[in-house]
Amino acid sequence: MHDDFAANLRLLCSYYRSIAEVCRRLDINRAQFNRYLSGRYKPADHTMRRICDFFGVEVHEILLPHADFQPLVRLKPRGGEAPAADSPSAGIPDGLLAQGTPGMARYLGCYYEYYLSMSRPGSVLCTLVCLERHGDRVLYQRTERMRSPSDNRPCHNRYRGMALLLTDRLFLIDHESLNGHEITQTILFPSFKSHVSRLTGLKLGVADSSERMPCCVRVVYERLSEPVSPRRALARCGLYARDDPALDPGIVAAIRNDVGADEWHFRARF
């Protein structure tokens, strides 16, 4: 029996309207697909690759124990779920929370976050950030998808945080929830346009490497313009060369960490 694979496959299918739709789009016989869902059979290698490409996951990931796979798929908190005891709002005065929540509604949704990687110098890192209202707070999850430099296996970091709008600035504070080894802060300029498309600012964090060097980088948030399944959105995330044609040159220019001769501090730019 392939119970973990079957459970992971059922979870991925739950993001679609029906199993029939998944089979139709994959062009796989429904009876055969049901065997995979039951755990009685594991797909042949070429079929496994088709399934993984469709859902935007790696073969290594879909074969993970189900308990390890769930956090990779669940990119947003479930509506109505109570905030966890380790909520990032701990220590922030209630008055500040009340002040910072109004006005956040227009920023809810998912974004691609771009910045020059702190642990892989010279490369652009694209992550997925999902903000949603959670009771009287706006919480978010930021998910990194990279590959281990030692064996090229997929690896993930998952950050949980809270967002506030205070006097025309967006403040995002989060912590790394899988390993518990980092807290980051991002400050963004708000958008004064009728439609929020891009946000720029600065991010302060620690390089995810043995050096653990504190770093500050320019960052761009690009809002996803159309609804997309979380797994397909995450499939685009990862490391890119700065001249990769898949990247918008305007975004690459905006995240350059240069300092002008007349600048005394490292500053964000519109």
Task: Classify residue 191: in a domain, yes or no.
Answer: yes
Whether residues 51 and 127 fall in one domain: no
Whether residues 107 and 146 fall in one domain: yes
Whether residues 39 and 99 fall in one domain: no
Task: Classify residue 82: in a domain, yes or no.
Answer: no
Q: Give the range of the structural domain holding residue 191, as residue numbers without chain letter.
A: 94-254
pLDDT per residue as tens digits for the range 30-58:
999 999 999 888 999 999 988 988 887 88
The phi and psi torsions of 146 (rounded to 5 degrees) equal: -135, -175
Final residue of a domain: which of 12, 42, 73? 73
Whether residues 18 and 142 fall in one domain: no
pLDDT per residue as tens digits for the range 165-219:
999 999 999 988 777 788 999 999 999 888 899 999 999 999 877 778 899 999 9
Task: Classify residue 87: in a domain, yes or no.
Answer: no
Nearest to 202 by CA among 215, 217, 184, 192: 217
Q: How many domains does the chain have?
A: 2
Task: Classify residue 43: in a domain, yes or no.
Answer: yes
How far, in Å, CA of 218 to CA of 202, rounded? Answer: 5
CATH of residue 33? 1.10.260.40
The phi and psi torsions of 30 (rounded to 5 degrees) equal: -60, -40
Whether residues 224 and 123 fall in one domain: yes
